[in-house]
Amino acid sequence: MTGMPADAFVSRLNEQIAHEFAAHQQYVACAVFYDGETLPQLAGFFYRQALEERDHAMMMVQYLLDSDAEVTIPGVAAPQTGFSDVVAPVTLALAQERRVSEQINELAGVARDERDFTSEQFMQWFIKEQVEEIATMSDLLRVVERSRDDPMEIEQYLAREHPAGAGGDPTAPQPAGG
C-alpha cells in the first residue's frame, strides 16, 4: 500500500467500524426475536446478516492495519430488542441499511475530497454491497408486509430466495483475522 490514508478518512472510517459493529448487534437482536417466535428461516437470515456486518467492520479494521493507521475498537450502543410484530425488525433493518448507505457514500466523498484515491477505491466494494443490501431488505419488507398474518409464507420465501450457505463474494476485501 502506498502512502497513508488521509487523517479525515481514518477518523470517519473508525466511526464506521462502530456503526458496523452496532449493525451486527442489532441483527443478532432481530435474529433472537425471530428464534423466540420459532421462525427459523427469519432467524437464520438475520444471524447471517449479523455475521456480514461483523465482516464489514473487520474489513475496515484490516484496511487500517494494512495502512499503518490508527484503529480503535469501539463499544457499541445497545440494540433494540423488543418488537411489536414480525414486520418491525425488517422495517428497522431497512432504515439501518439506508443510513449505512449514506455513511458509506460520505466516506467515499471524504476520501475524494482529500484526494486519497486508495481509500476512495477501498469504499467502492461497500457502495456496491449497500445497493444489494437495500434491495434485499426492500424485497423482504414487501414480503413480510404481505404475509404478516401467515409467517410460513415468509419462511418459504426465505428458504427459496436466501438459503443458508449461499453467498461468498471473491471480490470482498479481506477481514482482519479472516
- The count of other CB atoms within 10 Å of the CB of residue 42 is 25
Contact 62, 175 (CB under 8 A): yes
- Is 56 near Fe ion (CB under 5 A)? yes
Binding mask 3-22 for Fe ion (x = CB under 5 A): -----------------x--
Q: Which cell numbers in the block locate residue 44?
A: 437464520
Of the residues 9, 13, 46, 53, which one makes contact with Fe ion according to CB under 5 A: 53
Handedness of CA 137, 141, 144, 147 (dihedral sign): negative
Binding mask 110-149 for Fe ion (x = CB under 5 A): -----------------------x----------------
Segment contacting Fe ion (CB under 5 A): 31-39, 50-58, 113-121, 157-165? 50-58
The least distance separating Fe ion from the CB of residue 23, rounded to whole angstroms, comes to 5
Report in angstroms the alpha-carbon separations of 48 from 24, 40, 85, 135: 10, 12, 21, 16
